[in-house]
């Protein structure tokens, strides 16, 4: 692995990310000297090796599989948008909204590598997720962590999306998780799941 691939996995270890956000970070920190199309191709190669997962969002923000036609169109649109911007223009605010719609998360091999990097370190967050075919329940210290893990789960399950009207939440106090870790204060979020088809 080179610096590009290591940087990608280090970023994705903190949660899923859009292509625009990944590219902007790499460019701002001088970790990439390629145009957006070349960076896109590197990520496709990482996907083939199991290092990352790639998912697409539709017009309603739902995640699904990214077929060949979608990827080809996305590559062109990213080149037209991002390559023409210089480093000073690739601010976090400028790439916060990725309207093209490709998202990335660690793949199986990427997860293994990330775990090996942090082996022996005590986890700094306590959360758990229970998923059934029809629902997800997440318990976490904060809403932000809960939603991060929900989005990560959805990226790994492109055939499912959430029913936006189904969300319920409640505060947690002095709860012991399955891992036997104590959650002194937190939140429980429940959402219903729906099936979703591939993105065209």
pTM for the complete prediction? 0.63
- Separation of alpha carbons 75 and 41, rounded Å: 8
Q: What does the H/E/C string look like for 133-149?
A: CCEEEEEECCHHHHHHH
What is the domain partition of the chain in residue ranges? 3-117, 128-195
Per-residue pLDDT of the chain (200 residues; tens, 9 = 90+): 787 888 888 888 878 889 998 998 888 766 666 689 999 999 999 999 999 999 998 777 777 888 999 999 999 999 999 988 887 888 888 888 898 999 999 999 998 888 887 665 545 457 888 888 889 999 988 887 888 788 778 777 777 788 878 989 999 988 888 777 788 889 999 999 888 655 44
Give kind and range of the element (H or E) at residue 69.
Answer: helix 68-82
pLDDT of amino acid 41: 95
Give kind and range of the element (H or E) at residue 102.
Answer: strand 102-106
What are 142-168's pLDDT values in tens digits?
A: 887 888 788 778 777 777 788 878 989
pLDDT of amino acid 31: 66
How far is residue 135 from each of residues 57, 128, 147, measured CA to CA in Å? 20, 14, 14
pLDDT of amino acid 72: 95
Q: What is the DSSP string of 140-180?
A: ESSHHHHHHHHHHHHHH-TTEEE-TT--EEEEEEEEE-TTS
Among residues 15, 13, 5, 8, the alpha carbon closest in space to that of 153 is found at 15
pLDDT of amino acid 122: 47
């Amino acid at each position: 692995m080179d610096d590009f691939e290591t940087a990608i996995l280090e970023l994705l270890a903190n949660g899923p990310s859009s292509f625009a956000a990944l590219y902007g970070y790499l460019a701002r920190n001088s970790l990439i000297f390629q145009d957006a199309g070349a960076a896109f191709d590197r990520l496709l190669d990482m996907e083939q090796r199991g290092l990352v997962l790639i998912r697409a969002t539709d017009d309603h923000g739902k995640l699904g599989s990214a077929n060949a036609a979608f990827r080809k169109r996305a590559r062109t649109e990213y080149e037209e948008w991002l390559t023409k911007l210089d480093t000073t223009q690739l601010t976090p605010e400028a790439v916060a909204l990725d309207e093209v719609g490709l998202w990335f998360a660690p793949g199986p091999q990427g997860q293994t590598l990330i775990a090996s990097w942090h082996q022996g370190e005590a986890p700094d967050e306590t959360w758990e997720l229970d998923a059934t075919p029809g629902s997800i329940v997440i318990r976490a210290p904060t809403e932000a962590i809960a939603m991060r893990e929900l989005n990560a789960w959805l990226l790994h399950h492109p055939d499912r999306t959430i029913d936006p009207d189904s969300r319920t939440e409640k505060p947690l106090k002095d709860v012991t998780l399955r891992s036997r870790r104590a959650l002194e204060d937190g939140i429980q979020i429940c959402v219903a799941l729906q099936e979703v088809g591939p993105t065209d």
